Protein backbone atom coordinates (compact mmCIF):
# COMPACT_ATOMS: atom_id res chain seq x y z
CA UNK A 1 0.00 0.00 0.00
CA UNK A 2 1.23 3.48 -0.90
CA UNK A 3 1.24 6.21 1.76
CA UNK A 4 -0.76 8.34 -0.69
CA UNK A 5 -3.69 5.94 -0.35
CA UNK A 6 -4.44 6.50 3.37
CA UNK A 7 -6.09 9.89 2.91
CA UNK A 8 -3.46 11.73 4.93
CA UNK A 9 -3.34 15.49 5.17
CA UNK A 10 -0.95 16.90 2.52
CA UNK A 11 1.44 18.18 5.16
CA UNK A 12 1.89 14.61 6.35
CA UNK A 13 2.46 13.33 2.83
CA UNK A 14 5.16 15.98 2.43
CA UNK A 15 6.90 14.84 5.61
CA UNK A 16 6.79 11.20 4.51
CA UNK A 17 8.25 12.31 1.18
CA UNK A 18 11.15 13.92 3.08
CA UNK A 19 11.78 10.61 4.86
CA UNK A 20 11.96 9.01 1.42
CA UNK A 21 9.27 6.38 2.03
CA UNK A 22 6.63 5.48 -0.54
CA UNK A 23 5.22 2.11 0.52
CA UNK A 24 3.78 1.31 3.92
CA UNK A 25 5.03 -1.75 5.79
CA UNK A 26 2.49 -4.44 6.64
CA UNK A 27 1.84 -3.25 10.20
CA UNK A 28 1.46 0.31 8.89
CA UNK A 29 -0.97 -0.78 6.17
CA UNK A 30 -3.14 -2.59 8.72
CA UNK A 31 -2.84 -0.33 11.77
CA UNK A 32 -3.03 3.14 10.22
CA UNK A 33 -6.60 2.86 8.82
CA UNK A 34 -7.89 1.56 12.18
CA UNK A 35 -6.20 4.37 14.07
CA UNK A 36 -7.39 7.01 11.56
CA UNK A 37 -10.95 5.75 11.98
CA UNK A 38 -10.68 6.75 15.63
CA UNK A 39 -10.74 3.22 17.01
CA UNK A 40 -8.64 1.92 19.87
CA UNK A 41 -5.97 -0.44 18.66
CA UNK A 42 -4.13 -3.43 20.07
CA UNK A 43 -1.22 -4.25 17.78
CA UNK A 44 1.91 -6.32 17.54
CA UNK A 45 4.57 -7.07 14.97
CA UNK A 46 8.25 -7.83 15.11
CA UNK A 47 11.07 -5.38 15.77
CA UNK A 48 12.04 -3.32 12.75
CA UNK A 49 8.64 -3.60 11.08
CA UNK A 50 7.87 0.14 11.25
CA UNK A 51 5.62 0.48 14.31
CA UNK A 52 6.77 4.02 15.10
CA UNK A 53 5.24 5.51 11.97
CA UNK A 54 2.23 3.22 12.37
CA UNK A 55 1.26 5.35 15.37
CA UNK A 56 2.95 8.70 14.72
CA UNK A 57 1.30 9.25 11.32
CA UNK A 58 -2.30 8.77 12.55
CA UNK A 59 -1.43 10.94 15.56
CA UNK A 60 -0.32 13.74 13.27
CA UNK A 61 -3.37 13.31 11.08
CA UNK A 62 -5.67 13.68 14.06
CA UNK A 63 -3.91 16.79 15.31
CA UNK A 64 -3.88 18.42 11.86
CA UNK A 65 -7.51 17.58 11.08
CA UNK A 66 -9.34 17.97 14.37
CA UNK A 67 -9.89 20.78 16.80
CA UNK A 68 -8.15 20.39 20.16
CA UNK A 69 -10.28 19.20 23.08
CA UNK A 70 -8.40 21.53 25.40
CA UNK A 71 -6.38 24.67 24.86
CA UNK A 72 -3.67 23.78 27.37
CA UNK A 73 -3.41 20.04 27.78
CA UNK A 74 -1.22 17.94 25.50
CA UNK A 75 -3.07 16.33 22.59
CA UNK A 76 -0.88 13.26 22.19
CA UNK A 77 1.23 11.34 24.73
CA UNK A 78 3.57 8.56 23.60
CA UNK A 79 4.80 6.30 26.41
CA UNK A 80 7.91 4.21 25.83
CA UNK A 81 9.90 1.97 28.21
CA UNK A 82 13.41 3.41 27.95
CA UNK A 83 15.26 6.68 27.55
CA UNK A 84 16.97 5.39 24.42
CA UNK A 85 13.67 4.60 22.76
CA UNK A 86 12.21 7.90 23.93
CA UNK A 87 15.03 9.75 22.16
CA UNK A 88 14.52 7.75 18.96
CA UNK A 89 10.77 8.31 18.85
CA UNK A 90 11.16 11.98 19.72
CA UNK A 91 13.69 12.40 16.89
CA UNK A 92 11.27 10.82 14.43
CA UNK A 93 8.42 13.02 15.68
CA UNK A 94 10.54 16.19 15.40
CA UNK A 95 11.28 15.37 11.76
CA UNK A 96 7.59 14.89 11.04
CA UNK A 97 6.59 18.11 12.83
CA UNK A 98 9.29 20.26 11.21
CA UNK A 99 7.73 23.38 9.70
CA UNK A 100 4.43 22.91 11.53
CA UNK A 101 3.09 25.02 14.39
CA UNK A 102 2.92 21.99 16.68
CA UNK A 103 5.33 21.58 19.57
CA UNK A 104 6.70 18.55 21.35
CA UNK A 105 8.71 17.73 24.45
CA UNK A 106 10.74 14.76 25.62
CA UNK A 107 10.18 13.81 29.27
CA UNK A 108 12.49 11.09 30.47
CA UNK A 109 14.05 9.97 33.71
CA UNK A 110 17.60 11.02 34.52
CA UNK A 111 17.22 14.55 33.12
CA UNK A 112 16.69 17.80 35.05
CA UNK A 113 13.20 17.87 36.53
CA UNK A 114 12.83 21.66 36.66
CA UNK A 115 13.87 22.07 33.03
CA UNK A 116 11.17 19.57 32.10
CA UNK A 117 8.66 21.47 34.27
CA UNK A 118 9.43 24.65 32.33
CA UNK A 119 8.93 22.85 29.03
CA UNK A 120 5.60 21.45 30.21
CA UNK A 121 4.45 24.97 31.19
CA UNK A 122 4.65 25.93 27.52
CA UNK A 123 1.74 23.57 26.82
CA UNK A 124 3.30 21.29 24.18
CA UNK A 125 0.95 19.47 21.83
CA UNK A 126 2.96 16.22 21.90
CA UNK A 127 4.81 14.52 24.75
CA UNK A 128 7.13 11.55 24.35
CA UNK A 129 7.90 10.12 27.78
CA UNK A 130 9.01 7.30 29.97
CA UNK A 131 6.11 6.52 32.36
CA UNK A 132 7.81 7.01 35.74
CA UNK A 133 8.99 10.54 35.11
CA UNK A 134 5.74 11.60 33.50
CA UNK A 135 3.82 10.44 36.58
CA UNK A 136 6.18 12.45 38.79
CA UNK A 137 5.17 15.58 36.85
CA UNK A 138 1.49 14.63 37.04
CA UNK A 139 1.73 14.26 40.82
CA UNK A 140 3.33 17.69 41.07
CA UNK A 141 0.46 19.05 38.96
CA UNK A 142 2.97 20.39 36.44
CA UNK A 143 0.49 19.58 33.68
CA UNK A 144 -2.89 17.88 33.20
CA UNK A 145 -4.18 15.18 30.91
CA UNK A 146 -7.96 15.76 30.99
CA UNK A 147 -7.92 17.03 27.41
CA UNK A 148 -5.66 14.30 26.05
CA UNK A 149 -6.94 12.96 22.72
CA UNK A 150 -4.52 10.17 21.99
CA UNK A 151 -2.59 7.93 24.39
CA UNK A 152 -0.01 5.72 22.71
CA UNK A 153 1.83 2.90 24.44
CA UNK A 154 4.86 1.63 22.56
CA UNK A 155 6.52 -1.62 23.68
CA UNK A 156 3.89 -2.01 26.38
CA UNK A 157 5.19 -5.48 27.29
CA UNK A 158 8.60 -4.01 28.08
CA UNK A 159 7.05 -1.23 30.12
CA UNK A 160 5.34 -3.92 32.23
CA UNK A 161 8.63 -5.85 32.55
CA UNK A 162 10.29 -2.70 33.83
CA UNK A 163 7.65 -2.25 36.54
CA UNK A 164 5.69 0.61 34.97
CA UNK A 165 2.20 -0.93 35.38
CA UNK A 166 1.14 1.48 38.13
CA UNK A 167 2.53 4.48 36.24
CA UNK A 168 0.64 3.38 33.11
CA UNK A 169 -2.55 3.10 35.17
CA UNK A 170 -2.04 6.53 36.75
CA UNK A 171 -1.59 8.14 33.33
CA UNK A 172 -4.59 6.25 31.99
CA UNK A 173 -6.88 7.43 34.76
CA UNK A 174 -5.71 11.06 34.49
CA UNK A 175 -6.39 11.03 30.75
CA UNK A 176 -10.10 10.52 31.24
CA UNK A 177 -11.75 12.40 28.37
CA UNK A 178 -14.51 10.30 26.87
CA UNK A 179 -13.20 11.00 23.36
CA UNK A 180 -9.73 9.72 24.19
CA UNK A 181 -8.30 7.15 21.82
CA UNK A 182 -5.64 4.60 22.78
CA UNK A 183 -3.10 2.83 20.58
CA UNK A 184 -1.33 -0.06 22.28
CA UNK A 185 1.74 -1.74 20.75
CA UNK A 186 3.45 -4.77 22.21
CA UNK A 187 5.91 -7.38 20.92
CA UNK A 188 3.57 -10.02 22.29
CA UNK A 189 -0.15 -10.03 23.01
CA UNK A 190 -0.54 -13.54 24.40
CA UNK A 191 0.65 -12.81 27.91
CA UNK A 192 -1.73 -12.34 30.86
CA UNK A 193 -0.14 -9.15 32.17
CA UNK A 194 -0.29 -7.59 28.70
CA UNK A 195 -3.89 -8.62 28.04
CA UNK A 196 -4.98 -7.51 31.53
CA UNK A 197 -3.63 -3.99 31.19
CA UNK A 198 -4.83 -3.79 27.58
CA UNK A 199 -8.33 -4.64 28.82
CA UNK A 200 -8.12 -1.80 31.36
CA UNK A 201 -6.81 0.81 28.94
CA UNK A 202 -8.60 0.03 25.68
CA UNK A 203 -12.25 0.23 24.62
CA UNK A 204 -13.37 -2.44 22.13
CA UNK A 205 -10.04 -2.35 20.34
CA UNK A 206 -9.31 -3.50 16.81
CA UNK A 207 -6.61 -6.14 16.83
CA UNK A 208 -3.75 -6.20 14.37
CA UNK A 209 -1.13 -8.89 14.92
CA UNK A 210 1.37 -9.53 12.15
CA UNK A 211 3.06 -12.92 12.15
CA UNK A 212 1.33 -14.30 15.28
CA UNK A 213 -1.53 -16.71 14.91
CA UNK A 214 -4.69 -14.62 15.33
P1 LIG B 1 9.70 -1.11 15.09
O2 LIG B 1 9.23 -0.09 16.06
O3 LIG B 1 8.60 -1.98 14.57
O4 LIG B 1 10.85 -1.92 15.64
P5 LIG B 1 10.67 1.18 13.63
O6 LIG B 1 9.49 2.03 13.66
O7 LIG B 1 11.76 1.51 14.60
O8 LIG B 1 10.29 -0.36 13.82
O9 LIG B 1 11.23 1.18 12.14
C10 LIG B 1 12.37 0.43 11.75
C11 LIG B 1 13.09 1.13 10.59
O12 LIG B 1 12.29 1.06 9.41
C13 LIG B 1 13.36 2.59 10.84
O14 LIG B 1 14.66 2.90 10.41
C15 LIG B 1 12.33 3.30 9.98
O16 LIG B 1 12.76 4.58 9.57
C17 LIG B 1 12.16 2.35 8.82
N18 LIG B 1 10.84 2.42 8.17
C19 LIG B 1 9.65 2.64 8.80
N20 LIG B 1 8.63 2.63 7.92
C21 LIG B 1 9.17 2.40 6.69
C22 LIG B 1 8.64 2.31 5.36
N23 LIG B 1 7.33 2.41 5.15
N24 LIG B 1 9.49 2.09 4.34
C25 LIG B 1 10.83 1.95 4.59
N26 LIG B 1 11.40 2.05 5.81
C27 LIG B 1 10.59 2.26 6.86
MG1 LIG C 1 9.54 0.28 18.02
**Ligand 1 centroid from CA 90, angstroms:** 14
Question: Could you tell me if the CB of 20 is within 6 A of ligand 1?
Answer: no
Selection from 28, 41, 82, 75 nearest residue 184 by Cα: 41
pLDDT confidence of residue 213? 45
Atom of ligand 1 nearest to the CA of 3: 23
- pLDDT tens for 78-99 read 999 999 999 999 999 999 999 9
Q: Which CATH class is domain 3-209?
A: alpha beta
Question: Could you tell me if the CB of 50 is within 6 A of ligand 1?
Answer: yes
Q: What is the ipTM of this complex?
A: 0.99
What sign for the dihedral angle of Cα 44, 210, 63, 150? negative
Of 211 and 108, the one with more pLDDT = 108
CA atoms of 115 and 171, how far apart (whole Å): 21
- pLDDT tens for 107-116 read 999 999 999 9
Residue 206 has a CB neighbour count (10 Å cut-off) of: 16
Q: Are 41 and 184 in contact (CB under 8 A)?
A: yes
> Which ligand does the CA of 29 lie closest to?
1
Selection from 137, 143, 151, 76 nearest residue 108 by Cα: 137
CA atoms of 70 and 179, how far apart (whole Å): 12
> Which ligand does the CA of 80 lie closest to?
2
Question: Near ion ligand 2, which residues have CB within 5 Å?
Answer: 51
Identify the bridge partners of residue 151 per DSSP, sorted by sequence position.
77, 182
Nearest CA to ligand 1 atom 12: 50
Helix (H, G, I), strand (E, B) or coil at 165: helix
Q: Residue 117 pLDDT > 50, yes or no?
A: yes
- pLDDT tens for 36-70 read 999 999 999 999 999 999 999 999 999 999 999 99
**Ligand 1 centroid from CA 29, angstroms:** 13
pLDDT confidence of residue 212? 65
CA 164 to chain centre: 16
What average pLDDT is seen over the chain?
95
What sign for the dihedral angle of Cα 152, 28, 163, 40? positive
> Which ligand does the CA of 52 lie closest to?
1
Average pLDDT of the segment spanning 108-125: 96
pLDDT confidence of residue 173? 97
Selection from 158, 113, 109 nearest residue 130 by Cα: 109
Amino acid sequence: MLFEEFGFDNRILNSIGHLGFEHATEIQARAIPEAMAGRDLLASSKTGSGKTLAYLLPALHRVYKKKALSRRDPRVVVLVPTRELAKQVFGQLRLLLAGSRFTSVLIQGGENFNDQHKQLQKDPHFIVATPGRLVDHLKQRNFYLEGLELLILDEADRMLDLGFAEAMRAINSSANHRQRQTLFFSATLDNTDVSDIAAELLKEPSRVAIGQGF
